[in-house]
């Protein structure tokens, strides 16, 4: 019988395979976002923000709806706090955290994992859950490993980005985006 640990290990192996296959950074990062969103039912919405001139700029994302927070100043919100400190933020109850910037009424908890390259925060992985206190030590360890694996690709996004990835970049007809 497969355990939760097997699920995380399997997903990490899948991310590792994607990274080792290489290719364009935007395709790779979008594939990783899709894999994470589809692999865990408690990952209701997931996005990667790139750090750009003191702001977080939304890159690839997947979830039931778009967020209005496509640019967040570093230091603001839970996302901005993680970018400023370089440390993972886990919020068990978003409604009890005064830093929280609301995106979706259904969100109950959130995890934000910085992506560092060469000692600098270049991006972050943001996951919202509709379940309270959805993110435990396994999620933190797993997402921090994913962040390490994708960091060179995020640097490319950071270098060449500047504009939020809008819905126009989504696959046509994909209702999830
Ligand atoms: N909740 C985040 C904003 C981003 S949305 O969750 C997509 C925050 O407080 O920074």
Q: Over the chain (177 residues), what is each successive 10-residue block's mean pLDDT?
A: 86 96 91 97 97 92 95 97 98 98 96 95 97 98 98 73 58 43
What confidence score (pLDDT) does residue 175 get? 45
pLDDT of 113: 98
Structure confidence at residue 166 (pLDDT): 60
Q: Measured in angstroms, how far is the CA atom of residue 122 from the centroid of ligand 1?
A: 17
Pocket residues: Cβ below 6 A from ligand 1 = 47, 67, 69, 72, 77-80, 100-101, 103, 110, 126, 128
Residue 40, domain extent? 4-154
Note the pTM of the prediction, 2 decimals: 0.90
Would 173 be classed as within a structural domain? no
Q: Is residue 168 part of a domain?
A: no
Q: How many domains does the chain have?
A: 1
The CATH number for 58's domain is 3.30.450.40
- Is residue 162 one of the residues assigned to a domain? no
Give 138-145 contacts, CB < 8 A, sequence gap 24+: 138/4, 138/5, 138/8, 139/111, 140/88, 140/90, 140/111, 140/113, 141/8, 142/8, 142/11, 142/12, 143/88, 143/111, 143/113, 144/88, 144/113, 145/12
CA of 124 to the centre of ligand 1 (A): 11
Tell me how far the alpha carbon of residue 90 lies from the centroid of ligand 1, in angstroms.
Answer: 12
**What element of type H or E holds 123?**
strand 120-129
For ligand 1, atom 1: residue with the closest CA: 101
Whether 174 maps to a domain, the answer reads no
164 falls within a domain = no
Asked if residue 8 is part of any domain, the answer here is: yes
pLDDT at res. 156: 67
Tell whether 175 is covered by a domain. Answer: no
């Amino acid at each position: 019988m497969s355990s939760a640990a097997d699920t995380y290990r399997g997903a990490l192996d899948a991310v590792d395979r994607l990274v080792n296959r290489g290719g364009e950074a935007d395709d790779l990062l979008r594939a990783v976002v899709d894999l994470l969103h589809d692999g865990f039912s408690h990952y209701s919405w997931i996005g990667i923000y790139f750090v750009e001139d003191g702001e977080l700029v939304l890159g690839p994302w997947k979830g039931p709806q778009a967020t209005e927070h496509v640019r967040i100043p570093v230091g603001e919100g839970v996302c901005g706090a993680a970018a400023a400190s370089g440390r993972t933020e886990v919020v068990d109850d978003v409604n009890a955290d005064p830093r929280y910037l609301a995106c979706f009424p259904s969100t109950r908890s959130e995890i934000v994992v910085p992506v560092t390259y060469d000692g600098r925060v270049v991006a972050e992985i943001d996951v919202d859950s509709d379940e309270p206190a959805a993110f435990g030590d396994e999620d933190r360890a797993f997402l921090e490993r994913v962040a390490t694996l994708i960091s060179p690709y995020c640097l490319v996004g950071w270098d060449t980005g500047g504009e939020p990835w809008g819905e126009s970049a989504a696959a046509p007809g994909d209702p999830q985006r």
